[in-house]
Structure 1
Amino acid sequence: MTTITEVRDGRSTGGGGGGEGGGFAGAAAAEWTKLWSLRSTWWGLASAAGLMTLMSFILATSTASNNTNEITTDDQGVVSVSGIAVGAIDLVQFVPVTLAILVITAEYATGGIRAALQWVPVRGRMLGAKAAVVAAVTAPAGMVLAVLGTAVAGPGLGRWGRFSFGDAAADVLNVGVYLALICVFSLGIGAVLRSTAGALTAAFLLLMMIPMLLSNSPIPALRHVSDSLPSSAGRHFMAAEPGPYPALVGLLILVAWAAAVMVAAIAVLKRRDA
């Protein structure tokens, strides 16, 4: 078991394995240990898997139903099986986003942030270690969720599903990258606001409500603003069909948002008292 002294010194032996490290590696090892010692992490990831299963099944069966009912205006035809999982991530993302926010806001709520900053007094290093651990957990989690959603969507779509291993592999990888970046972005929001409720509200507004409202606006300028928001950029990055800009541009916009919020979070963390 990792002791408090080991974590404070920036060293961690992990789960029974030898070795030690300091600096950023030690801070990241400490954050990794803290994250996986919480039951909320396991429950959150399990909840995300359950929600992905449910959402993918609903989206797949709804697509099949729309294609076979008497109304022709809602027909979608044959769709990508893995694309269903990509569509489901719009809602599923809020479970790992909540976990990412709690990585920092829970410590402010319990006063644990003071101990964390005593163990890792370089504040940028501490927040950077949290971001690295969040990304390291949510990227593979996102890929697993995409695989699960694809597996569930296939039977639900039946003959209306089109599966390509190449497309599925790309979708799985893209979902992992998107989820990692959006969770780092959300971690930064949590570090700036220091409130779980406030950060969740801000994340929900920025990732869902504001893009939805702006994209449906009759004013072209507002629709362009919507396309520049992080979740919209992420959708364009993950989408197979052409969008307002290439997928790579969507990825760069998403990276820029995550980096900008993390820079702001580090500045706030350095200026404020814990």
Structure 2
Amino acid sequence: MSTATITVHHTSTSGGLRGAVASEWTKLWSVRSTWLNMVGAVLLTGLLGLQLGFSAAFERDNPAPDRLPAPPAEVGAMAVGALMIVQVVIAAFAMVPVTSEYATGSIRSTVQWTPVRRNVVLGKAVVLAPVLFLYGALLGLVAAVGAGLAAGRWADWTASALVTELLQIGVYAMLAGLFTAGIAFLIRNTAGTLTAAFLLLMVVPLMLGQSSISALQWLAALLPGGAGEAFLGGSSDLLSPAAALGVLVVWAVGGLALGLRVLERRDA
């Protein structure tokens, strides 16, 4: 009597960076905070767009006696104005995949399932990058449509300008979000990360930019928020849009690199 031996070869394709990306994608869309953030951001952006559109129409219908009539308002430019306010909500979206794991303790399971910690950071970045780009472009479109409808006959719907500005908004949302995700690994809690993002993206650049001291103006321009304003605005006394984009890339890559270093050196 002979015995048959069957050898089963099992090849796993779910490990490494590919598995980390698949895991992060599932985690991102399986929690309520992701959807609540998006719904809230769409509503807020739409309301801001309406406000900016009504304001633009009012200013053009009631010009000051000593000023020439203003040209129609570009809907893309109004979308940029709305995004500069809503960007904190986008930063919150980007940090939650990191800070929520530290808050619940699930980060320990994450690093056990993905022992190469570099893949943890890269997995989150690979998932967040396209999502943030589309998220920013979507919010820009919502703001542009709301502003254009509210501005009525004073709205400039030039398609080429609108598409360009939506693409720029998407790029800025992606880079600012990746920077926020990176520093989330450093700070490790929601309140602290959101505060740091709020300061670096909005408050500090705005404060320093009002100074008459050249060094402080340069510092404001080189912060993420200042560089984002120059990139989206298309003009700056200190940074060209291309230079501003380079600064944003440095902040995004630097934030992720710092987050990776902290994750590798500290216990989860």
Q: Above 0.5 in TM-score?
A: yes
1:85 maps to 79
| Match of residue 244 from structure 2 | 250
Q: What's the CA shift for 1:142?
A: 1.1
Residue 66 in structure 1 maps to residue 46 in structure 2: no
Please give the residue correspondences for 1:5-84 in structure 2 after superposition, counting only pairs within 5 Å: 20-69=13-62, 71=64, 77-84=71-78
What do the CA deviations read for 1:37-69 (whole angstroms, capped 9, x no partner)? 001101111111111101111111112212233
Q: Distance in 1 between matches of 2:240 and 2:196?
A: 27
Contact 1:63 1:76 in 2 (8 A): no
Closer, same or farther: CA 77–242 of 1 in aligned 2, 3 Å: farther
What secondary structure does 1:218 align onto?
coil
Partners of 1:23 and 1:72 lie apart in 2 by 67
* d(CA) in 2 for partners of 1:242, 1:233: 9
Change in 2 beyond 3 A, CA 1:253/1:73:
farther
Shift of 1:108: 0.7
Do structure 1's residue 151 and structure 2's residue 161 form an aligned pair?
no
- Per the TM alignment, residue 244 of structure 1 is displaced from its structure 2 partner at its CA by 2.8
Aligned alpha-carbon RMSD (Å):
1.7
CA distance in 1, matches of 2:191, 2:111: 23
Unaligned runs of 5+ in 1: 1-10, 12-19
- Equivalenced residues, count: 256
With the length of structure 1 as denominator, give the TM-score of the two structures: 0.88
Q: 2:7 maps to what in 1?
A: none
Q: Percent identity?
A: 39
Contact 1:206–1:229 (8 Å) recurs in 2: yes
Which residue of 1 is the match for residue 257 of structure 2? 263
Q: 1:73 to 1:36 in 2, by over 3 A?
A: farther
- Aligned counterparts, 1:154-233, within 5 A: 154-233=148-227
The two structures have a TM-score, normalised by structure 2, of 0.90
The structure whose Rg is larger is 2
CA distance in 2 between counterparts of 1:73 and 1:255 reads: 43
Cα 1:272–1:156 change in 2 (3 A) is same
**1:157 CA drift (Å):** 1.6
Distance in 1, matches of 2:81 and 2:194, equals 21
* More RCO (CA 8 Å, sep 6+): 2
